[in-house]
Amino acid sequence: MEFFDQVRLNIDKAQDKQKESYRRRIKKGTKCFDIRANDLVWKKDERKARPGKPHCSFAPSWGHHPLRVTSVEANHLLQLEQLDGQPLKAMMPYTSVKPTRQRPSTV
């Protein structure tokens, strides 16, 4: 019985080590934002991410104008609309948007 207990203990240690390594790797490149309805966000320009398209190399990585979040779904999808109220046809994943920064007003 001691042998199997030691094997189980080693497996648990290895799994904990793998979980910690994965958590550190994911945390390193992930930014978390608190996005709610009526927030203004920038949508990532997916055309720039296509490889082999030199005409997009100097284009901005994020959209030209902010969009408003109308709803946030449970599976990290956002429904967006333009500022004039026209909704976008497709829902956007949480990872393809970032919130606009409110610049401090200098008075």
pTM of the model: 0.59
Q: Do residues 21 and 49 share a domain?
A: no
- Residue-averaged pLDDT of the chain: 83
Cα 90 to Cα 10, 67, 77, 87, distances in angstroms: 47, 13, 10, 9
pLDDT tens profile 13-52: 999 999 998 888 777 666 677 888 999 999 887 766 566 6
Q: Which residues pair with 86 in a beta bridge?
A: none
| 84 assigned to some structural domain | yes
| 105 assigned to some structural domain | no
pLDDT tens profile 88-105: 999 988 888 889 887 777
Cα 106 to Cα 32, 99, 103, distances in angstroms: 28, 21, 9
Range of the domain at 89: 40-99
What's the total number of domains in the chain? Answer: 2
Domain CATH number, residue 83: 2.30.30
Residue with the bigger pLDDT between 1 and 65: it is 65
| 69 assigned to some structural domain | yes
